Amino acid sequence: MFRKLTVIGLLLCSLSICGCTRVEDIKEEEKKEEKKEEEKKEEKENTEEQDTKDYDELIKKLNAYIKEDDLDPELFSYCIEDLETGKIIKSDNAAQDWEAGSVYKLPLSMLWYDRIAVGSVDYYQGLYYSEACGEEDGGQIQVDFKVGDTIPLCTVLGYTLLYSDNVGGHILFESYGGWYAYKRDAANYSQHPQTDNFFSLTNYLNAQYMCDVMRRIYQNQDLYAEVIEYLRIASPDNYLNSQIQVDMVQKVGWYTDHVNSCGLSLNGHPYSICVFTRYNNYGLTVQGKLNEICYNFFNKE
């Protein structure tokens, strides 16, 4: 009897010791996890602080140029994003709608590539060149084709992106279902709500929206590979490339005194820059200088 009690006592004691040890182990593990979380938090804060400091340098340079050139904030807007981090580094009047000119042809063309990718249209299918698609400054399609022709979709896309062809753009949105259908679907490229102006018959876009469009291209480079190649060679030494020729993937637009360019750099550190101006010819210089500052910052040694 005594032996049984002794054994039971030893077992209880052993269990008690094990239990205490287990509790201590759990507490120790919890402390380690808490420490890891604190270290991660501290590392994140340090990284964000460093990022902010780095971007501060770029922001100072951009502000210095804007002040030096005495640029009127009423006459331009822009948005710059680090595509590697997804951070909007600097923007002014970015949500303001501007006359877009031919910039509209980029999201419109992308919608067609989306359709091709899911199989709802064929890359080579014919699009009808109707009289309604005629434009005063029609471009190369007006030279190479005539009203009544059926033109392969891939050809219309090529002319529209490479030559910024006005008839090509018109054929694309008419064949898509009309201007409203195009704008309705194009709005989905951005998480930002758009104004009534955006959806109107007037050709309005904004820098914030176009930065979202450029991010979509960056994140889907296989899908938009042809878009990227066309835009690389469309304006190699003008607009964003006017001050420094760095192979920007850009879509440009010019309407009356509105001179605009929206692009991304895949040459070195990836970033996007979208600029809308009302400076007429001088808008080319403004865009080029802003991009020169950005490119040199992101690709400094």
Residue 37, SS3 per DSSP: helix
**87-92 and 204-205 strand pairing:** unpaired
As given in the structure block, the two tokens for residue 138 are: 């029609």
Chain centre distance of CA 8: 72
Q: What does R_g of the chain's alpha carbons equal in angstroms?
A: 28
Q: What is the pLDDT of residues 146-156, one digit of tens each?
A: 999 999 999 99
| C-alpha to C-alpha distance for 160 and 141, rounded to whole angstroms | 9
Q: Are 213 and 251 in contact (CB under 8 A)?
A: no
Task: Please name the residues in contact with 4: beta carbons below 8 A apart, sequence gap of 6 or more.
Answer: none
Q: Residue ranges of the chain with pLDDT lower than 50? A: 2-17, 20, 44-50
Nearest 5°: phi and psi at 113? -65, -35
Residue 82, SS3 per DSSP: strand
Domain residue ranges of the chain, discontinuous segments joined by +:
53-298
Q: Which pLDDT score, from 0 to 100, does residue 48 have?
A: 44
Q: Which pLDDT score, from 0 to 100, does residue 51 have?
A: 52
Nearest 5°: phi and psi at 281? -55, -35
Which residue stretches of the chain are H helix? 2-68, 105-118, 140-144, 153-162, 166-176, 179-186, 196-199, 207-219, 225-234, 282-298
Q: Which pLDDT score, from 0 to 100, does residue 13 have?
A: 47
Element (H, E) at 250: strand 249-255
Q: Any idea which fold 53-298 has?
A: Beta-lactamase (3.40.710)
| C-alpha to C-alpha distance for 156 and 168, rounded to whole angstroms | 5
